[in-house]
């Protein structure tokens, strides 16, 4: 019997960001304080099947093949309240005579699934429904920030700097949007802006599917690419002399909002896409079992770039804090900004509620510095508080709404 809290870290998932999520999940497991917590992996494969097993903690074990699955245990979440009140997984293992069922108890779940079914509030809603404690943003904050257009609209309503945008929905039939309608919509939404445009999926992260359109044909091609992954696309002006700045935000134990070091990601092209984020810095892919997986930490970057003057640094920090506080976010959130390096103009780009590597490297470079071990512990303890404070008495008697009597 142990007094350590059991931490279930869930990663992978039915998402185009599946592989990045694996790195983030394994990093969090590595960062757990072994004197306080005992962690184990829950891997969700691309078909949505849940697995656990010690082999999943090894980066060299991925990708998971049918042969490798034989060493793993199939699990699913028990949505019923257990006698002890602790959440649990139901594990099934095939034996010669029949399937054997057992239970795996845990205390809190750490969502490390990026993008679809992880950052969009669906997993958070499931855990809320089952009254299971979890770390990070709650359902509403997750759903709000996952939709890039909705998040920008919220920021715009608060007077925060954002670029104009056009939201487009995937056609219900055929492949192409009507050319005339599209040109008219672009002209109306992006008045005073000409090509090039930036085309993005509305509901994905990690810069997956982001394309630069230099003309109308390029725009159509970019939209077709986006619509393979998302039902909605966002078109906005492409910022000239583009530089990106990212900052992480969290809430300290006393309730104050804290911001991290600021990073300027480096790119060999004029667009910071998935390849530049996750493969260029890592020399073609993640390390295997030679040390902590790098993930976003392998990105070529400049921390606390000196070209940021006090005015622009304060704008980034204040805007990020306003977004974090106003959207009622939690955990370690990364907020990204776009900048024209010549004019100095800065615009809010997007919120990442489960950022790659949980943005731990930005906290390690902050003042005061916060280690990944400290960050992981703070996220867990915050998750317990937020989950336990969510609901009061849910009985019909407490609400005076009893209809059926014994």
CATH classification (class only), 5-136: alpha beta
Residues pairing with 134 in the sheet: 109
Q: What's the rounded Cα separation, in Å, for the pair 314 and 245? A: 13
39-88 confidence digits (pLDDT tens): 999 999 999 999 999 999 999 999 999 999 999 999 999 988 655 678 99
Q: Could you give the percent of the chain with pLDDT greater than 70?
A: 88
User: Does the structure show a pLDDT above 70 at 298?
Assistant: no
The proportion of the chain whose per-residue pLDDT surpasses 90, expressed as a percent, equals 75
45 φ, ψ to 5°?
-80, 170
Low-confidence winner among 298-302, 329-333, 375-379 (lowest mean pLDDT): 298-302
Q: Residue 73's pLDDT is what?
A: 95
- Say which residues have a Cβ less than 8 Å from residue 54's Cβ, sequence separation at least 6: none
**pLDDT score recorded for residue 175:** 67
Average pLDDT over residues 230-250: 96
pLDDT greater than 70 at residue 10: yes
**Location of structure tokens 């990442």:** 352
The CATH number that domain 166-237 falls under is: 3.30.1490.20
- CA 286/CA 294 separation, integer angstroms: 7
Choice among 62-76, 153-167, 177-191, 390-404 with the minimum mean pLDDT: 390-404
Q: Residue length, the chain?
A: 406
Instruction: Please provide the average confidence, as pLDDT, over all residues in the chain.
Output: 89
Check residue 82 and give its pLDDT: 58
Instruction: Flag whether pLDDT at 390 surpasses 70.
Output: yes
Confidence of residue 273 (pLDDT cuts 50, 70, 90): low
Least confident stretch, 67-81, 187-201, 293-307: 293-307
Least-confidence region, from 172-176, 282-286, 347-351: 282-286
Q: Which CATH class is domain 144-160+240-388?
A: alpha beta
* Per-residue confidence (pLDDT) for residue 288, from 0 to 100: 39
Dist. CA 338–CA 245, nearest whole Å: 6
15 phi, psi to nearest 5 deg: -150, 150
Of 229, 243, 258, nearest to 317 by C-alpha is 258
User: Any idea of the CA torsion for 184, 186, 188, 189, to the nearest 10 degrees?
Assistant: 150
Quick one: pLDDT at residue 284? 39
pLDDT of residue 299: 62
Closest CA to 320 of 164, 145, 196: 145
Domain segments of the chain: what residues?
Answer: 5-136, 144-160+240-388, 166-237
Residue 336: predicted pLDDT: 97
Residue 270 has pLDDT above 90, yes or no: no
Residue 184 buriedness (CB in 10 A; 0-12 / 13-18 / 19+): exposed
pLDDT in tens, 318-342: 999 999 999 999 999 999 999 999 9
Q: What is the pLDDT of residue 380?
A: 98
pLDDT above 60: residue 287: no
pLDDT at 206: 60
Task: Kindly report the number of other CB atoms within 10 A of residue 395's CB atom.
Answer: 9
């Amino acid at each position: 019997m142990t007094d350590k809290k059991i931490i279930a870290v869930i990663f992978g998932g039915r998402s185009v960001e599946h592989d990045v999520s694996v790195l983030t999940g394994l990093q969090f497991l590595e960062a757990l304080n072994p004197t306080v917590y005992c962690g184990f992996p829950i891997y969700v494969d691309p078909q949505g099947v849940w697995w656990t097993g010690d082999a999943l903690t090894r980066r060299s074990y991925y990708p998971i093949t049918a042969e490798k699955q034989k060493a793993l245990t199939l699990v699913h979440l028990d949505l019923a309240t257990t006698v002890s009140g602790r959440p649990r997984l139901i594990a099934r293992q095939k034996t010669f005579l029949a399937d054997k069922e057992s239970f795996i108890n845990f205390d809190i779940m750490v969502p490390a699934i990026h993008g679809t079914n992880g950052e969009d509030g669906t997993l958070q809603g499931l855990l809320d429904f089952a009254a299971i404690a979890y770390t990070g943003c709650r359902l509403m904050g997750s759903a709000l920030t996952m939709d890039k257009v909705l998040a920008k609209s919220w920021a715009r309503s608060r007077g925060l700097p954002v670029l104009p945008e056009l939201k487009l929905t995937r056609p219900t039939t055929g492949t192409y949007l009507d050319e005339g309608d599209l040109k008219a919509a672009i002209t109306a939404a992006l008045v005073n802006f000409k090509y090039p445009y930036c085309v993005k999926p509305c509901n994905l992260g990690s810069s997956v599917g982001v394309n630069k359109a230099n003309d109308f044909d390029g725009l159509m091609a970019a939209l077709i690419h986006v619509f393979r992954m998302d039902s909605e696309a966002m078109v906005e002006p492409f910022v000239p002399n583009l530089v990106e700045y990212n900052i992480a935000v969290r809430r300290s134990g006393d309730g104050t909002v804290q911001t991290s070091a600021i990073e300027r990601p480096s790119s060999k092209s004029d667009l910071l896409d998935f390849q530049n984020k996750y493969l260029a810095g890592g020399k073609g892919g993640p390390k295997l079992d030679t040390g902590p997986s790098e993930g976003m930490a392998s990105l070529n970057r400049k921390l606390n770039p000196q070209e940021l003057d006090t005015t622009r640094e304060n704008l980034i920090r204040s805007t990020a804090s306003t977004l974090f506080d106003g959207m009622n976010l939690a955990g370690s959130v990364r907020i990204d900004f776009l900048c024209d390096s010549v004019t100095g103009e800065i615009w809010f780009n997007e919120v990442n509620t489960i950022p790659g590597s949980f943005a731990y490297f930005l906290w390690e470079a902050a003042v005061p510095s916060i280690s990944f071990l400290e960050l992981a512990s703070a996220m867990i303890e915050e998750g317990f508080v937020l989950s336990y404070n969510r609901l009061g008495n849910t009985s019909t008697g407490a609400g005076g709404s009893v209809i059926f009597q014994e």
